[in-house]
């Protein structure tokens, strides 16, 4: 194993957050003069609150490693990348490394909108300390990968965000990076280009030992391209390990947080009650009517919605949505129930068949539509009415980790396989 | 993909402590390609959307000077101290002054204009204020041509070369370097402050406008009668650059004593050094505050 490319030791970054009522624009004239020349004020230090965006983060990364960085907003991912890119200075600790660090911190950072792709390529090279003649040799390669042959001399302000991304990415990988810092950047591109970028990143990592730090909220992309993932939480290194393990753990934690917030919203009394009726509760129940928290994958489960109607001579209809990983997995709507009575409670059950869902977290949104006459329509909605986690069967889990990745559903489909008649031999 | 030898980057460390000024200057040298890039970009932005870019630039510089020449020279009958035509005398003063004035104004805005870039990409920040002198250098070129033109005109009228090709002409670039150093020195302070407080630029505009009258751009220092006012003018470090430039071109003898000249030079060096120190100390904090 070769020497690490990056060694991060006890890296910390502190920000001072001003509180309301501090001296910005106020205070005595002397105070304003002092803050003008950035001489620290006693009152500032009293009013300011310190915030550790990063605290004692240590890790080392070898050449050729694609390291995913995950964490919720404000966990310190971007701060870490900005320190590595030298855009901000750390408060404590240090980073040792070798080779050129190229960053893709934000789409179009380091690009001048009014200049053409050609001029921007030269400028970016200069920003990375690469002489013009070296870039000249690389020029066609950059344009070719970005597929911008026809737009070389168009000012980049007229580019679509996809073209912008292609140019930015192509420039970055052609700057001879030893370390590439990518912050949420690939989210913009279309699937085809994303795929090409990821393949290129892998190729450079394998063949030239490029080290990549990849920050993303797209867990699917993270587990696909990274072989190791670190999870930052409140500025600290929370987990560091195999991509699949850390991503799964992170997603489970995110799901629990979501479930907690869903329970909280019940108290706030959203639009689930109105003059036509109200949604009483939403529960997950088993076939024999037991309430369950986390169903096994191989059993039927029901989403039970209890609602009450206030007016007679209305029609009622219940809708259930299942979400997972930020995607609407499915929506099912019950046929209209005619002539509901006033002040009558109903229970709607929808069956989710066994072996349809994947072993991951889901949230349920429920809606009840009440229609009176021709167009008097009233909708009761209960967002995130329920969250649950599906547990898979043990045999599936025993398979290799590469087979464990799943979509938002994991249905058992019918397969047939036959032996093809061998025509040539006959 | 082969790695070109000139672009191989060795081992590095990132630490909380700012590197020394010398390390920063060495880094500026490594990134020198960027200097030319920012210099041209500042120039391009000046008249990007206009059809007669270059023409505007000429007019913008020469028209106010022509007007001043008419008012002070022709209408009010101002004279130089040694018989040099007033137009030439004043143009010499203005050439140095405008170089200083424009440099300072462009440098002051350099950090603010590139805020977006500073917040996202690393490069030695010192490059920005230094590269921002490019428009001023362009004005200097225009004024030098004007100066030569006026010189030819007076040779035609009076048969004398008021700006002779002599060795002392080599002192003109020295005077230019002095006034640039002063502008950059002040600019290191103002550019950092401007990035945080927009008031700097407004205040600076008026201060520079006022300072021109406290410098012997339009009149010779010998015409000042009040000794207090003269002392005041001598306090102004820009004076040495103007006097030196006049001596180098039209040959007006230095009208300030050696002691005063030395004091002014030392003041400029101190301003420049303090500027680099302040800039280096504040640049990373600036990014946090932006």
Q: How far apart are CA B268 and CA B174, in angstroms?
A: 13
Residue A387 near residue A255 (C-beta atoms within 8 A): yes
Residue B49 pLDDT: 66
Structure tokens of A182?
A: 């990518």
Place of tokens 């304003």: A32
CA atoms within 13 Å, Cβ hemisphere of B7: 23
A98 to chain B: closest CA residue? B11
Q: Report percent pLDDT > 70 for chain B.
A: 92
For residues A68-93, average pLDDT? 88
Could you please report the per-residue DSSP string of A166-196? HHHHHHHHTS--SEEEEESGGGGS-HHHHHH
pLDDT in tens, B92-103: 999 999 999 999
Task: List chain A domain ranges.
Answer: 62-254, 272-393
Residue A259 pLDDT: 57
Q: Which of B10, B18, B121 lies nearest to residue A98, judging by beta carbons? A: B10
Residue A379 pLDDT: 79
Whole-model pTM?
0.70
Q: Determine, for residues A126 and B37 on separate chains, whether the beta-carbon distance falls below 8 Å.
A: yes
Q: Which phi and psi (to 5°) does residue A235 adopt? A: 80, 0
- pLDDT-based confidence at residue A47 (cuts at 50, 70, 90): low
Average pLDDT over all residues of chain B:
85
Other Cβ atoms within 10 Å of A266 Cβ, number: 15
A173: pLDDT strictly greater than 80: yes
Q: Which phi and psi (to 5°) does residue B286 adopt? A: -60, -45
Residue A399 pLDDT: 44
pLDDT in tens, B109-143: 998 888 888 888 888 889 999 999 999 999 999 99
For residues B163-192, average pLDDT? 92
The crossing angle, in degrees rounded to 10, of helices B258-289 and B21-30 is: 80
CATH architecture of the domain with residue range A272-393: Distorted Sandwich (2.70)
Q: Which of A86, A126, A178 lies nearest to residue B14, judging by beta carbons? A: A86
CA–CA min distance A219, chain B (Å): 25
**CATH code of the domain made up of A62-254:** 3.40.50.300
Place of tokens 């799943």: A406
For residues B142-163, average pLDDT? 89
Residue A30 pLDDT: 65
A411: pLDDT strictly greater than 90: no
Q: Determine, for residues B7 and A176 on separate chains, whether the beta-carbon distance falls below 8 Å.
A: yes
């Amino acid at each position: 194993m070769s020497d690490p490319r990056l060694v991060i030791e006890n890296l910390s970054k502190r920000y001072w957050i001003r509180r309301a009522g501090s001296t910005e624009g106020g205070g005595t004239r002397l105070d304003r003069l002092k803050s003008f020349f950035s001489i620290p004020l006693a009152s500032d230090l009293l009013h300011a609150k310190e915030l550790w965006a990063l605290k004692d983060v240590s890790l080392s990364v070898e050449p050729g490693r694609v390291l995913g960085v995950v964490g919720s907003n404000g966990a310190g991912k971007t701060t870490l990348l900005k320190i590595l890119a030298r855009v901000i200075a750390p408060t404590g600790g240090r980073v040792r490394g070798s080779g050129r660090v190229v960053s893709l911190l934000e789409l179009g950072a380091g690009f001048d909108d009014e200049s053409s792709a050609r001029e921007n390529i030269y400028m970016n090279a200069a920003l990375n300390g690469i002489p013009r003649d070296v870039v000249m040799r690389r020029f066609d390669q950059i344009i070719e990968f970005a597929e911008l042959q026809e737009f070389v001399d168009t000012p980049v302000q007229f580019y679509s965000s996809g073209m912008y991304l292609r140019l930015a990415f192509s420039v970055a990988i052609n700057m001879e990076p030893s370390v590439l810092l990518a912050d949420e950047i690939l989210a913009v591109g279309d699937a085809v280009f994303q795929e090409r970028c990821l393949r290129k990143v892998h190729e450079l990592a394998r063949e030239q030992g490029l080290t990549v730090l990849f920050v993303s909220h797209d867990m699917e992309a993270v587990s696909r391209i990274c072989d190791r993932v670190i999870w930052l939480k409140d500025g600290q290194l929370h987990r560091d390990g195999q991509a699949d393990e850390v991503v799964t753990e992170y997603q489970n934690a995110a799901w629990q947080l979501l479930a907690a917030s869903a329970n909280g919203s019940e108290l706030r009394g959203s639009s689930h009650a109105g003059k036509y009726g109200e949604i009483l509760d939403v529960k997950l129940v088993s076939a024999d009517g037991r309430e369950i928290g986390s169903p096994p994958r191989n059993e039927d489960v029901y989403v039970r919605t209890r609602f009450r109607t206030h007016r007679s001579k209305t029609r009622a209809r219940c809708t259930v949505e299942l979400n997972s990983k930020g995607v609407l997995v499915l929506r099912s709507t019950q046929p209209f129930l005619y002539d509901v009575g006033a002040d009558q409670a109903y229970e709607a059950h929808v069956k989710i068949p066994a072996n349809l869902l994947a072993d991951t977290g889901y949230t349920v949104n429920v809606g009840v539509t009440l229609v009176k006459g021709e167009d008097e329509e009233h909708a009761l909605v209960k967002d995130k009415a329920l969250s649950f986690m599906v547990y898979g069967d043990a045999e599936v889990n025993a398979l290799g980790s590469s087979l464990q990745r799943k979509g938002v559903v994991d249905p058992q489909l019918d397969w047939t396989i036959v032996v093809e008649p061998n025509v040539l031999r006959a | 993909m082969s790695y070109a030898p000139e672009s191989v980057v060795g081992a590095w460390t990132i630490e909380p402590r700012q590197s020394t000024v010398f390390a920063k200057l060495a880094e500026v040298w490594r990134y020198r390609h960027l200097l030319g890039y920012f210099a041209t970009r500042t120039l391009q932005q000046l008249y990007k959307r206009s059809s007669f870019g270059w023409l505007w630039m000429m007019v913008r510089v020469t028209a106010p000077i022509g007007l001043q020449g008419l008012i002070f020279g022709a209408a009010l009958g101002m004279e130089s101290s040694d018989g040099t035509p007033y137009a030439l005398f004043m143009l010499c003063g203005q050439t140095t002054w405008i170089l200083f004035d424009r440099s300072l104004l462009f440098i002051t805005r350099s950090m603010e204009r590139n805020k977006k870039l500073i917040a996202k990409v690393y490069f030695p920040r010192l490059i920005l204020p230094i590269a921002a002198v490019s428009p001023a250098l362009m004005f200097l070129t225009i004024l030098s041509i004007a100066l030569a033109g006026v010189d030819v005109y007076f040779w035609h009228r009076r048969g004398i070369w008021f700006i002779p090709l002599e060795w002392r002409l080599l002192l003109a670039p020295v005077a230019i370097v002095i006034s640039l150093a002063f502008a950059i020195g002040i600019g290191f302070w103002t550019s950092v402050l401007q990035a945080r407080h927009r008031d700097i630029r407004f205040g600076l505009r008026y201060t520079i406008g006022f300072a021109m009258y406290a410098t012997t751009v339009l009149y010779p220092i010998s015409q000042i009668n009040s000794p207090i006012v003269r002392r005041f003018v001598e306090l102004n470090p820009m004076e040495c650059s103007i006097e030196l430039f006049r001596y180098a071109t039209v040959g007006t003898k230095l009208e300030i004593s050696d002691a005063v000249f030395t004091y002014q030079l030392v003041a400029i060096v101190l301003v420049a050094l303090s500027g680099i120190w302040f800039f280096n100390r504040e640049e990373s904090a600036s990014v946090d505050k932006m």
